[in-house]
């Protein structure tokens, strides 16, 4: 075995010197480098985004409950080393010097916040310092709005229930704000030890208990799974996945894009390895026949080549891993301004995945070549045309596709995306041969009018249709994948930018009284403030469906739906709200007052099993309102504008107490207009969400940069395919050109011939890539990104142009290499 290993190593070294294994080595190294760096980057960006989301939430998980949870739950947490801390949230009137205001009170203890920091200032005019603790016992922190509304200052005495506490800070930013985006009353934070003094918490009090949970990811997921069957009506679990749905959707797509990028670089490098392995196999046929003739058994041959492939896997894999980590470090350095503080090191997992990729890549793509080699008959040393195929090309291609699919699935963990890409690749394979055949048939008819090199180039393509189809396939597939990534990337980035457009509304005004609506609109217009419609809002609880209590008339899963646990905001409108889209039924044009019509948000309707024509009854105050579902509509929840689950026609809710709501946009420089607004409309509550939006934007910016960087890897992988495809036919082209030169053609003629041939190949490959790109993009948008698909004309123009240019340029180098050797040397070598 040692001798065999030594021989395999010697063979590898010699093969390396002669360039036999360089392309395959390069392809594997690029594959591993891209998988490792994407893996490491993905892990760090994910971890960074996860950290930010947790800070956003203030914990890994929040368990909300209207009552205290059983002590058993806290015991479980303690037993499993999970931090489990309680905050109390309740609405209470707070008083300063006889001035009253309803506040959203949060009572915290010393370890709050578990994650993230609180920004507290001592002055309304200054940005505060970050603090990692809440207020001390006997003191409170207030939001600026509350301070203004109560005309309080630092040091003012504030009465909450029966307790009198001191204002010690102005609360500017707190974690977990994401879960209170639409809390109407301004925030006040106090220490939990002061709660008994307030006498507010009584058995009948409406208190929300928020249990903040932090631990390792595994423990959190175990705890969540343990909790899930135990939570009852009114209780809910908020995780980074359920908070801020707009952000979550953007991050989900980023996740998918990262997975797509790593899959695509694997797919491209797989193709490169596969093409290079084919050439490697062909170049070793004669050696193998000789080995066999000199006494090497088929088993020995498999051992030798397998050992050589293992060496390539380990060396190229090792180099790829080092490159991958190096590149990743470079990118982190580039992104440092966008990343929060210290990132955890990427660990060894990406290296492990990189190494497995190398082994899998070579096992899947090159071992089939090795097994073909074992069956080369020894008599080939005497008769070169003697060759036996143990596996047909179809079998090898199927094996390669299965290996590729398996590898992509394993790396991305996304079966649907893998299937889509594999099917698109399959279409490209099937089309490659047909396209080459059709193109060369058409060109053959035109060839009489062309120059001699062009004519000969077409004949070359006709004669070598199989090899041409392979090249068209490899180059076409590489182009297709690169164009798909470019297309998905640019569309995703545009979509993310649209998630929070530059002038997205960053403030909400709530509690607007009916008599203030017109004045508020005037105020907005006079001060040039961009704003939404001022929408009416009535709170109602869904109690019946088709005359039956709602809990008896929805599925078991539906019973736990959040919309049935609380009152919903109902609004009315004559027109379909901005950003909404009817997906079933019709909007009302001139509704009659005889029948109350309802427009219901589509996702909620699906989850609760509602149908058009269903009668729903809402309890508003003490009164019942019954309406018929007229339509379902989708809502853009991430629009940062007022959105509603239920919309009714105007006048249907006239008899109910109503408050209005609007969103508006203020730049940082115009922030002082807020004071004017508060002065003009003292009862209106303003919610500032600009800080939260800045956080969301920073996360999206980070993801966008990562995505742009990943495109470079796809480019490198595409280059390795091109190189492998060019190398694959180098011998054939060298021989043909040597024969042509031997019978009198000059170097320029040969160079023109090669360039013409490659130009044709490039155009056909580019056209093929355009077909594949549209197909892959259509499937990805439809099934994975759930985004509308449109035709991309540029793909059909750019594809053939880029294909021809890239292949022609690489052909330039190739043609120089081919003519640089004397025809005699090439012909002697081919004997």
Partner 1 sequence: MIEAKGLSKTVETASGQIEILQAIDLKINAGETIAILGASGSGKTTLLGLLAGLDTPTQGSVHINDKNITDMNEEQRAQLRAEKIGFVFQSFQLIPAFNAIENTSLPLDLAGKKIDEEHVISLLKQVDLGHRLDHTPRQLSGGEQQRVAIARAFVTQPEYLFADEPTGNLDKKTGQKVMDLLFELNEQQQSTLILVTHDEHLANRCQRQLVLDEGRWVQP
Positions touching partner 1 (CB under 8 A) are: 1, 3-4, 6-7, 10, 14-15, 17-18, 20, 286-287, 290-300, 304, 377-379, 381-383, 831
Q: How far apart are the first and last CA of the chain?
A: 35
Residue closer to partner 1, measured from CB, 218 or 385? 385
Give 151's DSSP letter.
T
Closest approach of partner 1 to the CB of residue 383, in Å = 7
Residue closer to partner 1, measured from CB, 159 or 300? 300
Distances (CA, A) of 350 to 321, 402, 409, 799: 8, 23, 16, 33
Closest approach of partner 1 to the CB of residue 734, in Å = 15
Q: Are 826 and 735 in contact (CB under 8 A)?
A: yes
Residue closer to partner 1, measured from CB, 382 or 426? 382
Q: Are 661 and 509 in contact (CB under 8 A)?
A: yes
Q: Is 306 helix (H, G, I), strand (E, B) or coil?
A: helix
Residue closer to partner 1, measured from CB, 1 or 394? 1
Reported as type and span, the H/E element at residue 618 is strand 615-620
Closest approach of partner 1 to the CB of residue 423, in Å = 38
Closest approach of partner 1 to the CB of residue 817, in Å = 18
Residue closer to partner 1, measured from CB, 813 or 828? 828
Based on its alpha-carbon atoms, the radius of gyration of the chain, rounded to whole angstroms, reads 34
Residue closer to partner 1, measured from CB, 5 or 180? 5
Question: Under 8 Å CB-to-CB from 478, ≥6 apart: which residues?
Answer: 268, 271, 717, 718, 721, 722, 769
Burial class of 260 by CB neighbour count within 10 A (0 to 12, 13 to 18, 19+): buried
Q: Is 272 helix (H, G, I), strand (E, B) or coil?
A: helix
Closest approach of partner 1 to the CB of residue 387, in Å = 13
Closest approach of partner 1 to the CB of residue 292, in Å = 6
Nearest to 485 by CA among 760, 272, 785: 785
Closest approach of partner 1 to the CB of residue 402, in Å = 28
Residue closer to partner 1, measured from CB, 72 or 831? 831
Burial class of 202 by CB neighbour count within 10 A (0 to 12, 13 to 18, 19+): exposed
Closest approach of partner 1 to the CB of residue 705, in Å = 46
Q: Is 614 helix (H, G, I), strand (E, B) or coil?
A: coil
Give 97's DSSP letter.
T
Closest approach of partner 1 to the CB of residue 391, in Å = 17
Residue closer to partner 1, measured from CB, 122 or 825? 825
| Locus of tokens 């801390």 | 85
Distances (CA, A) of 406 to 35, 318, 474, 741: 15, 22, 19, 46
For residue 301, give both structure tokens. Answer: 């041959």
Residue closer to partner 1, measured from CB, 129 or 386? 386
Nearest to 822 by CA among 747, 756, 729: 747
Closest approach of partner 1 to the CB of residue 374, in Å = 9
Residue closer to partner 1, measured from CB, 21 or 509? 21
């Amino acid at each position: 075995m040692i001798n065999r290993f030594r021989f395999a190593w010697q063979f590898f070294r010699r093969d390396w010197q002669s360039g036999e294994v360089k392309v395959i080595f390069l392809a594997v190294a690029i594959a591993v480098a891209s998988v490792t760096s994407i893996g490491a980057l993905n892990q760090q960006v994910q971890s960074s985004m996860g950290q930010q989301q947790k800070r956003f939430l203030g914990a890994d998980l929040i368990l909300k409950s209207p009552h205290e949870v059983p002590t058993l739950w806290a015991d479980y947490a303690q037993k499993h080393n999970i931090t489990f801390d309680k905050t109390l949230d309740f609405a209470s009137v707070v008083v300063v010097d006889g001035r009253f205001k309803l506040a959203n009170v949060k009572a915290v203890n010393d370890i709050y916040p578990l994650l993230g920091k609180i920004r507290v200032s001592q002055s309304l005019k200054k940005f505060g310092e970050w603090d990692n603790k809440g207020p001390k016992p006997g003191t409170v922190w207030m939001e600026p709005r509350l301070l203004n509304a109560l005309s309080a200052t630092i040091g003012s005495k504030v009465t909450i229930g029966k307790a009198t506490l001191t204002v010690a800070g102005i609360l500017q930013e707190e974690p977990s704000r994401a879960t209170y985006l639409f809390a109407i009353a301004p925030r006040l934070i106090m220490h939990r030890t002061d709660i008994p003094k307030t006498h507010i918490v009584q058995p009948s009090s409406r208190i929300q208990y928020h249990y903040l949970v932090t631990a390792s990811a595994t423990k959190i997921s175990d705890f969540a799974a343990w909790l899930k069957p135990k939570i009852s009506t009114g209780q809910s679990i908020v995780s980074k996945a359920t908070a801020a749905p707009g952000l979550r959707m953007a991050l989900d797509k980023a996740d998918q894009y990262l997975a797509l990028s790593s899959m695509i670089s694997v797919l491209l490098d797989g193709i490169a390895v596969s093409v290079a392995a084919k050439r490697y196999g062909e170049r070793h046929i004669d050696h193998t026949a000789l080995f066999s003739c000199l006494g090497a058994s088929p088993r020995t041959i498999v051992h030798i080549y397998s050992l050589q492939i293992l060496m390539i896997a380990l060396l190229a894999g090792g180099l790829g891993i080092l490159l991958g980590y190096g590149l990743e470090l470079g990118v982190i350095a580039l992104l440092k301004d966008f990343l929060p503080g210290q990132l955890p090191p990427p660990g060894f997992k990406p290296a492990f995945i990189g190494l497995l990729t190398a082994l899998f890549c070579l096992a899947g793509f090159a071992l089939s070549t090795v097994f073909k080699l074992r069956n080369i008959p020894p008599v080939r040393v005497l008769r070169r045309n003697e060759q036996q195929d143990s596996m047909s090309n179809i079998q090898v291609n199927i094996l390669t596709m299965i290996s590729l699919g398996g590898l992509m699935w394993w790396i991305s963990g996304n079966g649907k995306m893998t299937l889509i890409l594999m099917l698109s690749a399959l279409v490209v394979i099937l089309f490659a041969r047909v396209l080459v055949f059709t193109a060369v048939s058409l060109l053959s008819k035109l060839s009489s009018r062309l120059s001699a090199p062009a004519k000969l180039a077409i004949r070359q393509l006709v004669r070598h249709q199989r090899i041409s189809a392979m090249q068209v396939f490899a180059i076409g597939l590489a182009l297709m994948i690169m164009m798909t990534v470019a297309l998905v990337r640019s569309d995703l980035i545009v979509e993310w930018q649209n998630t929070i457009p530059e002038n997205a509304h960053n403030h909400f005004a709530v509690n607007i009284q009916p008599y203030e609506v017109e004045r508020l609109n005037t105020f907005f217009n006079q001060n040039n403030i961009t704003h939404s419609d001022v929408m009416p809002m009535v709170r109602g609880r869904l109690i019946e469906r088709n005359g039956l209590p709602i809990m008896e008339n929805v599925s078991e899963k539906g019973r736990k739906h959040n919309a049935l646990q609380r009152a919903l905001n109902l609004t009315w409108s004559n027109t379909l709200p901005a950003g909404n889209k009817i997906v079933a039924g019709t909007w009302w044009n001139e509704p009659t007052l005889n029948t109350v019509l309802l427009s219901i948000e589509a996702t909620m309707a699906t989850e609760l099993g509602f149908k058009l024509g269903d009668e729903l009854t809402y309890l508003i105050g003490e009164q019942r309102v019954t309406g018929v579902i007229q339509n379902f509509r989708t809502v853009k929840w991430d629009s940062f504008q007022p959105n509603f689950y239920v919309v009714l026609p105007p006048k249907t809710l006239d008899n109910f107490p109503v408050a209005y709501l609007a969103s508006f946009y203020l730049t940082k420089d115009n922030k002082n207009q807020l004071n004017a607004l508060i002065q003009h409309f003292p009862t209106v509550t303003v919610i500032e969400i600009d800080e939260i939006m800045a956080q969301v934007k920073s996360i999206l910016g980070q993801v966008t940069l990562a995505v742009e960087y990943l495109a470079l890897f796809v480019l490198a992988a595409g280059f390795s395919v091109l190189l492998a495809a060019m190398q694959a036919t180098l011998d054939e082209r060298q021989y043909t050109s040597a024969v042509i030169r031997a019978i009198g053609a000059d170097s320029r003629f040969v160079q023109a011939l090669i360039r013409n041939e490659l130009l044709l190949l490039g155009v056909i490959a580019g056209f093929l890539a355009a077909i594949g790109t549209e197909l892959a993009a259509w499937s990805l948008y439809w099934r994975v990104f759930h985004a509308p698909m449109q035709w991309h004309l540029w793909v059909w123009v750019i594809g053939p142009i880029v294909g021809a240019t890239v292949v022609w340029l690489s052909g330039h180098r190739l043609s120089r290499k081919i003519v640089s050797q004397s025809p005699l040397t090439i012909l002697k070598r081919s004997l």
